[in-house]
Every structure is written in C-alpha cells, then in structure tokens.
C-alpha cells in the first residue's frame, strides 16, 4: 500500500487563505491526501465563529475519500492567555490545535513558543524559527510536535529547528501551511522539505510519514 500524506496546517478564506474550505478539501482529495486539517488563524476574538464555520465546511466532505478535520492556528495570542485560547478552541470543536510560533517572518510575541510547548493540549508548534533547546525538551516531554515548514517565508529557519529538535528528540512534522491549493505539499515535496532541513533518512521518515500517522491515530482515524 502506498503511503498517503496527511496535512495538518492549512488556511482558507475564513482568514488569509485564498479559497473556501471545501475547495481546499476538494483539492486535497485530487492530490490523493489521506487527511486535511483546516487551521485558520484564531485570536481570542474569533475562535468560536471560525471553528463553527470550519466544522460546517468539513461536514460537507463527509462522504469523500478523505478525512477533513477542523482545527485552529492560535495566532498572536499573548503567551499568558494561550492556555485559555487552547481551552476555548477545544470547546468549540477544534480537533487539531496548532500554535503560530515565534518566527523570523513575523513579530510574534516572545514567550509564545514556550507557552505552546508547555501545554500538552497543543498538537503542533508551527514554524518556531527561534526555537531554543529548552523549548525543544519541553516539546518532547509534552508531546507537542515541532513543525518543519513548507512555506517559503518560514522555511529559512528549518535547518535550525531541525538541529535543535533532533538533539532533544522532539518529534518533527512537515506541514505545508498552505494558503492556496497549489501550496499543498505532495509526499515527495514533504520529503524534500525534511531532507532540506538536514535530516537523515530515519528522521525524514518520521517527519514526513510516521508523525502524520501518529496524529491521525490520536484522532481515532485510521492512517
């Protein structure tokens, strides 16, 4: 059986993505993906209506050959209120919680990476360009996956993120962070992102394969 890639980080027109959720999901089907998670940007101001709209879009794909999963990317929430945002997202029905990490590309509040990796309810710390060894240790302890980004603006720090995560044995995962259907990574492209970050074969296999399967199982979905 060939491995079918799953995506855990993507955006739709609900925030800064280019297409409506169902269009993103349809394109993921056309690319042969096993699952796609819609993770639009949420702050403390919009969690409820964003998650509600995502759930409605994902429901529309119920009979398709893909698992469509509603999620969030918690974005620019002050670190001392991050736990509150995670709780509210879960209560609203978000099944995957991504946190928009401290990245070279944007002025994310200092302390965001740390707040994310200390909360075991967070699934993925996205593009954490300024990741420290201590944060990577906490990510491993709390089972928070560390993202290697397929997005050009965040990719520049992938090598750093990979080196620090490898030393701490934190689990890495390759995500597209797609804002349009064309940006959804194929499996070959995901492998290339992992290799480009400097990972050896074993960790490439983890970041572009086993990590996806682990997250699907967490959700009770067959990989």
Helices (H), the chain: 21-30, 47-60, 82-92, 112-117, 133-141, 152-155, 158-168, 187-196, 201-205, 211-218
Residue placing its CB nearer to Zn ion in the complex, 34 or 100: 100
Residue placing its CB nearer to Zn ion in the complex, 168 or 176: 176
Should residue 5 be labelled a site residue for Zn ion when binding is judged by CB under 5 A?
no
- φ/ψ of residue 178, rounded to 5: -70, 135
CB of 92 to Zn ion, least distance (A): 18
In the numeric block, which tokens belong to residue 131?
């990741």
Strand partners, 157: none
Which range in 50-58, 89-97, 119-127, 198-206 contacts Zn ion by CB under 5 A?
A: 119-127
Contacts of 102 (CB under 8 A, 6+ apart): 108, 109, 110, 112, 113, 128, 129, 130, 131
Alpha carbons within 13 angstroms on the beta-carbon side of residue 98 total: 33
Which residue's beta carbon is nearest to the bound Zn ion? 100
DSSP secondary structure letters along 196-211: HTT--HHHHHIIIIIH
CB of 31 to Zn ion, least distance (A): 18
Encode 166-193: b = buried (16+ Cβ within 10 Å), e = exposed. Answer: bebebbbbbbbbbbebebbbebebbbbb
Should residue 123 be labelled a site residue for Zn ion when binding is judged by CB under 5 A?
no
CB of 142 to Zn ion, least distance (A): 20
Residues 17 to 56: which contact Zn ion by CB under 5 A? none
CB of 160 to Zn ion, least distance (A): 17
3-state class (DSSP) for residue 42: strand
CB of 45 to Zn ion, least distance (A): 17
One residue of 177, 185, 207, 208 binding Zn ion per CB under 5 A: 177
CB of 25 to Zn ion, least distance (A): 17
Residue placing its CB nearer to Zn ion in the complex, 107 or 220: 107
| Number of amino acids touching Zn ion (CB under 5 A) | 4
Which range in 21-29, 96-104, 130-138, 192-200 contacts Zn ion by CB under 5 A?
A: 96-104
Residue placing its CB nearer to Zn ion in the complex, 135 or 177: 177
Which residues of the shown chain bind Zn ion in the complex (CB under 5 A)? 73, 100, 126, 177
């Amino acid at each position: 059986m060939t491995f079918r890639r799953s995506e855990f980080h993507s955006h739709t027109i609900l925030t800064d993505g280019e297409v409506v959720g169902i269009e993103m999901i349809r394109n993921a089907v056309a690319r042969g993906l096993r699952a796609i998670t819609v993770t639009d940007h949420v702050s403390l101001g919009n969690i409820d209506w964003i998650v509600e709209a995502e759930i409605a879009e994902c429901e529309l794909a119920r009979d398709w050959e893909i698992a469509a999963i509603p999620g969030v990317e918690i974005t620019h929430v002050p670190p001392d209120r991050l736990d509150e945002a995670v709780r509210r997202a879960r209560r609203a029905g978000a099944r995957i919680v991504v946190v928009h990490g401290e990245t070279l590309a944007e002025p994310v509040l200092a302390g965001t990476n740390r707040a994310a990796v200390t909360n075991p309810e967070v699934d993925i710390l996205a593009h954490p360009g300024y990741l420290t060894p201590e944060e990577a240790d906490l990510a491993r302890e709390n089972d928070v996956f560390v993202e290697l980004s397929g997005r050009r603006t965040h990719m520049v720090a992938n090598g750093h993120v990979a080196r620090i995560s490898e030393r701490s044995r934190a689990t890495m995962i390759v995500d597209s962070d797609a804002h349009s259907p064309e940006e959804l990574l194929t499996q070959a492209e995901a492998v290339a992102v992992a290799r480009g970050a400097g990972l050896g074969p074993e960790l490439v296999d983890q970041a572009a394969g086993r990590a996806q399967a682990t997250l699907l199982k967490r959700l009770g979905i067959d990989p």
